[in-house]
Amino acid sequence: MTTHHPVTVTASPGVPYVDIVREFEAPVADVYRAYTEPELVAQWLGPRDLAMDIQEYDVRAGGKWAYTHTDPAGTPYGFSGVFHSVAPDRIVQTFEFDGYPGHISLESVTFVDLGGRTRIEVHSVYQSQEDRDGMVASGMERGMTEGFERLDDLLEAAAVH
Amino acid sequence: MTTHHPVTVTASPGVPYVDIVREFEAPVADVYRAYTEPELVAQWLGPRDLAMDIQEYDVRAGGKWAYTHTDPAGTPYGFSGVFHSVAPDRIVQTFEFDGYPGHISLESVTFVDLGGRTRIEVHSVYQSQEDRDGMVASGMERGMTEGFERLDDLLEAAAVH
């Protein structure tokens, strides 16, 4: 039976940050692969009821990424950005939602080796308090929680091992 | 005689932003060229007493930029990042100083057409309050003030016209 750890989301008042912490019952190398290989990313990132189409996912400094989530009614939601830096324990990238163009955030994902288990720490910083608050109000947490549960399942499946 | 407008730098307590506003006595097209053509950037960006060497300056989404400032004692200071988006009135890019690696900021520069004159508005957001405060304490304002004065001179010279 797959273990689904809780997600901790911190969005304190008065600062434009969102911090997310989540543990996984899998080695850091597997979690890292699931974050960096587009064919794996497509299998877990986002809520279950959205179709995922990755246009590009070039995981290197200066590489671009772009994907579209499409809901059951056929409405597409596009996301894109560029990778600033890609290290074995940390990836830093920009993020923009095409429904709110021109509002960009900077996101870092740190992979902490817990010895056969992994903790990821996501730190996002927005260009304004309003941008941050809007992202939190958009249902980000639900989509992420569901995505991480799908990632648990993927990590347990043979694909990643 | 070249007009040097004052620089307004806002770094309010408790938030990780720096906002910079500066006007120039030149059309927006000229200021934009001075910001986007590496051979022009090299002529104004930074204090006068530092030698400027641009390694790359690829002004497009996903393009990288990197330059080194070297002080009179020969000590190099490297800066680099990637461009997230490049529009005729706004450029968004990441920024990292190699003396403080892993601390990245997200910077947008907006070019406001004042009708033959130009106002630039720079909004930078840092990953933490400490990063922002450290950048302000580093003498950023002096370097920028001097750089903008050099830019005034460049805009007045034939090179940009």
Average pLDDT of span A36-59: 96
Query: Does the beta carbon of A103 lie under 8 angstroms from any beta carbon of chain B?
Result: no
Give A160's pLDDT tier (boundaries 50, 70, 90): low
Q: Sheet with A17-24: list strands edge to edge.
A: A8-10, A17-24, A118-126, A104-113, A90-97, A76-87, A64-70, A51-57
Q: Which of A63, A108, A127 shows the shortest C-beta gap to B125?
A: A127
A72 domain residue, yes or no: no
C-alpha to C-alpha distance for A82 and B128, rounded to whole angstroms: 21
The answer to whether A94 contacts B102, with C-beta atoms less than 8 Å apart, is no
Task: Give B58-72 pLDDT, tens digit per residue.
Answer: 999 999 999 999 999
**Residue B136: inside a domain:** yes
- What pLDDT shows up at residue B160? 52
Asked if residue B83 belongs to a domain, the reply is no
Q: Is 90 exceeded by the pLDDT of residue B107? A: yes
* Residue A28 pLDDT: 97
In a domain, A131, yes or no: yes
- Put the strands of the sheet holding B104-113 in their side by side order: B8-10, B17-24, B118-126, B104-113, B90-97, B76-87, B64-70, B51-57
CA dihedral B31, B37, B38, B42 (to 10 degrees): -30
The pLDDT of residue A158 is 60
For A98, other C-beta atoms within 10 Å of its C-beta total: 12
Residue B96 domain boundaries: 8-45+88-156
Query: Which residues have C-beta within 8 Å of that of residue B75, sequence separation ≥ 6?
Result: none
Residue B157 has pLDDT above 70, yes or no: yes
Please compute the mean of the pLDDT values over residues A124-150 and round it to a whole number: 93
Q: Name residues whose C-beta falls within 8 Å of residue A152's C-beta, 6 or more positions apart in sequence.
A: A2, A3, A4, A5, A24, A25
CATH of the domain at A34: 3.30.530.20
For residue A161, tell me if it sits in a domain.
no
ipTM, two decimals, is: 0.93
Alpha carbon B34 to chain centroid distance?
11
- How many CB pairs lie under 8 A apart between chains A and B? 70
Q: What is the pLDDT of residues B10-38, one digit of tens each?
A: 999 999 999 999 999 999 999 999 999 99
The predicted structure's pLDDT at residue B50: 95
Q: Report the domain count for chain A.
A: 1
Using alpha carbons only, give the angle B2, B5, B9 rounded to the nearest 5 degrees: 145
Q: What does the pLDDT read at residue A35?
A: 98
- In chain B, residues with a C-beta closer than 8 Å to the C-beta of A16 are 15-16, 125
- Is residue B132, in this structure, part of any structural domain at all? yes
Per-residue pLDDT at B21: 98
Helices and strands counted in chain B (H then E): 4, 8
Whole-structure pTM value: 0.95
Between CA A62 and CA A112 the distance in angstroms is 24
Q: How far is Cα B117 from Cα B158, in angstroms, rounded to an integer?
A: 17
Of A62, A92, A127, the CB nearest to B123: A127
Q: What is the pLDDT of residues A52-89, one digit of tens each?
A: 999 999 999 999 999 999 999 999 999 999 999 999 99
Do residue B85 and residue A104 have CB atoms under 8 angstroms apart? yes
Q: Among the ranges A92-106, A146-160, B131-145, which has the highest mean pLDDT value? A: A92-106
Sorted by sequence, the CB contacts under 8 Å of residue A157 that are 6+ apart come out as none
Q: Is residue A56 part of a domain?
A: no
